Structure 1
């Protein structure tokens, strides 16, 4: 770990050796410090005890388990030891080395909660977070609320590397879907409404009646996911990929994310990078500022598209994406392994 970042509570070597040791039959345990965060339902564990890279997938799986802290994802934090997170980024490494916008917003909110930096003139805070899968630090804007544990956090999301349309086989159909590639994660956007209109039998009438978020639709989505996953896993080389079931009429989305390092599949309550992917696919054809709010199982997230001039040539405008939504810190303490 760089000398610019502080070493908290115990060494990575101690944690890793305790978790992996199988030579001693006596009960052994280790503790690590965690922050549990709810960014629009995408329950995230942030660990700020130093952990060696090779031990992180094992520890992440333990922490995510239902009988432990129970979460959808885990990120590992380190803080600048000689400077404010406004100038020197917080380091955030996700469990599979992927990028995660919700975890980035969570880390930024915790920095504000922990009073690591001073407010701006307007009362907001602007911490920097360097998340795995991103080539540059991400500037966040965190706005406190009247509740000391609840914030609204906006993150300047990495721009997609590519946005294109591919076709996938399902039953006797060849169906289109958007593919949006970010550093560290690729998202496939499944246009449920278009698929239903093409053939109601593909999706089922429950979707048309109740919408994507209804429990009655889940069996159909699981059937679609199983077919799509088996095809996409064979061709996807990213550290993680997501399948975003999206309805253009109701503006509803059900996100599913696969992380290769932990071989985990999560039907997430919300997905920041997936929300941004939908925004990039649907809004990039509009030459101007636009916003899209997506209703997801755990809450709502809004992606803002803002066009910026990258040179004095009017033809050099390009869209940038910003992800905004609530973040609630739900627990802080020690976890025992």
Structure 2
């Protein structure tokens, strides 16, 4: 028997995102997401579920299928809310969201630009940033750990995005997923010379391991890392396979004080998906 799912599909920097409008029990999220993400269904890199918010100042709640946090999905939901409310003025409209993976209210500034929505999102701040040298597969690797409440990003500076380093990143992501218990593991390969990022995202609950074409939270973590390592404010366009995402990371004395990312979101499809119940 097929189950009917109301969905909207978005394009935030080619990080194809599906948000589900219909209500479903939380325990079914991984099953629904796995089918929607598959090549023979709607096809996307991630799936979130739109729900009602608890905090009165929040317009909605976004629950990602694996309970993780996702910056691009925040942009997508903010763009959808703006489109539904016909907020198409040339000025920014602020939309606050409750989002899985963080207890911070996420504030999004949205305005329509031609057929897309331009978004600025204030991102969660990392709880800790530290540099470590680890021995992995017989090789000494220098990594930077950017830790959040429910997810972790590992920044690894590289000179090239070759196949051996990609395979090493995939194995490391799965190993950390088994040992750490976080809802999301991100391995962020970053070339500081070209300002390019190759983001690998692993969501253990979904067994989803994807080289994303654009990663909002990964961009924020790279910005936090750069501000922390250089001990100054960072404003930078981080180039990714799907396009660039701008990050602004404020630095104050000994810590990162605020991180904002900017990007564009297109609404590319809306309708019904049919999955195995």
Give the TM-score of the pair, scaled to structure 2.
0.91
Off by >4 Å, runs of 4+ in structure 1: 116-119, 285-288, 315-318
Q: Give matches, 1:297-336, under 5 Å.
A: 297-307=241-251, 319-336=257-274
User: Is it true that 1:251 corresponds to 2:189 in the alignment?
Assistant: no
1:203-252 CA-to-partner distances (Å, cap 9, x unmatched) read: xxxx3xxxx3xxxx3x2333222442354234322111111111000111
User: Is it true that 1:111 corresponds to 2:81 in the alignment?
Assistant: yes
User: Is it true that 1:284 corresponds to 2:250 in the alignment?
Assistant: no
Larger Rg, first or second structure (1 or 2): 1
* Corresponding pairs, count: 275
Residue aligning to 2:25: 52
Question: Over aligned residues, Cα RMSD in angstroms?
Answer: 2.3
CA distance in structure 1 between the partners assigned to 2:170 and 2:72 by the alignment: 25
1:134-191 CA-to-partner distances (Å, cap 9, x unmatched) read: 11211101121022xx111111000001111122223433211001012321001111
**CA shift in 2, pair 1:32/1:226, >3 Å:** closer
Does 1 or 2 have the higher relative contact order (CA < 8 Å, sep 6+)?
A: 2
1:82-113 CA-to-partner distances (Å, cap 9, x unmatched) read: x8xxx333100001001110101110011111
The DSSP-based 3-state class of the residue aligned with 1:188 is: strand
CA distance in structure 2 between the partners assigned to 1:138 and 1:226 by the alignment: 29
| One of 126, 131, 156 as aligned partner of 1:160 | 126
User: Is it true that 1:129 corresponds to 2:97 in the alignment?
Assistant: yes
Distance apart, 1:317 and its partner CA:
7.7
CA distance in structure 2 between the partners assigned to 1:155 and 1:283 by the alignment: 18
**CA shift in 2, pair 1:133/1:123, >3 Å:** same
**CA shift in 2, pair 1:222/1:118, >3 Å:** closer
CA distance in structure 2 between the partners assigned to 1:267 and 1:139 by the alignment: 27
Q: Give matches, 1:72-221, under 5 Å.
A: 72-79=45-52, 87-115=57-85, 123-147=91-115, 150-193=116-159, 207=160, 212=161, 217=162, 219-221=163-165
Mark the runs of 5 or more structure 1 residues left unpaired by the alignment. Answer: 1-27, 194-206, 309-314
CA distance in structure 2 between the partners assigned to 1:80 and 1:273 by the alignment: 22
CA distance in structure 1 between the partners assigned to 2:158 and 2:151 by the alignment: 22
8 A contact 1:99–1:132 mirrored in 2: yes
**CA shift in 2, pair 1:262/1:336, >3 Å:** same
8 A contact 1:142–1:153 mirrored in 2: yes
CA distance in structure 2 between the partners assigned to 1:317 and 1:253 by the alignment: 23
